[in-house]
Amino acid sequence: MMRGEESRRETVSRRVILAGSALALGAAATGTVAIRARAQVKISQANAKYQDHPNGKQECDGCIQFQPPNACKIVESPINPKGWCQFFGAKS
Ligand code: SF4
């Protein structure tokens, strides 16, 4: 009888340890993703073929990547709201 209780306790303890390990691994993975996101590098203006004037009717302030007043989510800032690059994507 005692042996059965001890065995059950050991099983429960093992489950608690495994659950704790899984939580620790999950937290470590989340931390890694956050560090990668913070370390994200923007595309250089040269590689984006950025220009400080519009391309026809396309200009940064009409692009989905534009962040007022003069930044871009994917290309190095600052940028001109009236500029343009090859990654232009029209706001819908
Ligand atoms: S056109 Fe290029 S530089 Fe301008 S906001 Fe869009 S992605 Fe950024």
How much is the pTM?
0.62
- Over 50: is that where the pLDDT of 1 sits? no
Q: Is 45 in the pocket of ligand 1 (CB under 6 A)?
A: no
3-class DSSP assignment, residue 53: coil
Query: Over 72-86, what HEC string results?
Result: ECCECCCCCCCCECC
How many angstroms separate the alpha carbon of residue 79 from the centre of ligand 1? 8
Q: Alpha carbon of 87 to those of 13, 46, 51, 82: distances in Å? A: 55, 12, 12, 14
Q: What CATH code is assigned to 42-92? A: 4.10.490.10
Closest C-alpha to ligand 1, atom 4: 60
Which residues sit opposite 84 in a β-bridge?
51
What are 19-39's pLDDT values in tens digits?
555 555 555 555 555 555 566
pLDDT bucket at 40, cuts 50 / 70 / 90: confident
On whether the CB atoms of residues 72 and 37 are closer than 8 A, the answer is no
On whether the CB atoms of residues 82 and 52 are closer than 8 A, the answer is yes
What are 58-83's pLDDT values in tens digits?
999 999 999 999 999 999 999 999 99
Q: What is the pLDDT of residue 22?
A: 56
* Position in ligand 1 atom list of the atom nearest CA 45: 3
How many angstroms separate the alpha carbon of residue 36 from the centre of ligand 1? 22
Q: What is the pLDDT of residue 34?
A: 59
